[in-house]
Amino acid sequence: MKKFLSILSIAVCLFVTVACSSKIGAVKKAFVNDGYEWQQIDLSSGSDEQSAKDTESVIKGLYLATKGLTGYNIIVELQANKDAKDAVQALKDDPNLDGNSIIQAVVSAYNSSPITYGNCILITLLDSNAVSLFDTLNGK
């Protein structure tokens, strides 16, 4: 179980480092062009200083795209950081694991997901149109 949690935490770090350049501009443009209202969510409101620093180390931006009564979507923009890069390097260097294969599998799964685009992740419940927008951005 401990090894699984370690691999899972490294996988999350990999998501952070998958894309070096931010894709949020293209995501915003796609949603706005499709009639969604776009709003950036303040990450620092209502949290203590340490919690805000922890959040900012992984999340670069948080956005809300709304349309009508059922079109509520959260877009999480991730950013790469030194800790994530160090975790990836540690995985590659671990003699007990085939780190490169794990990294390739995680990155492949991330890139083929219909709710990811570059360093952006879509969180939606009822809006299949939002997933279609991400598919379009991914060229599918």
Q: Give CA separation, 58 vs 9, 27, 30, 117, in Å.
A: 12, 19, 24, 16
pLDDT value of residue 99 = 63
pLDDT value of residue 94 = 74
Per-residue pLDDT of the chain (140 residues; tens, 9 = 90+): 455 545 555 555 555 555 456 789 999 999 999 999 999 998 775 555 555 555 456 778 899 999 988 888 999 888 766 666 666 677 677 777 676 676 666 666 666 778 888 888 888 877 888 888 988 888 87
Say if CB 94 and CB 10 are below 8 A apart. no
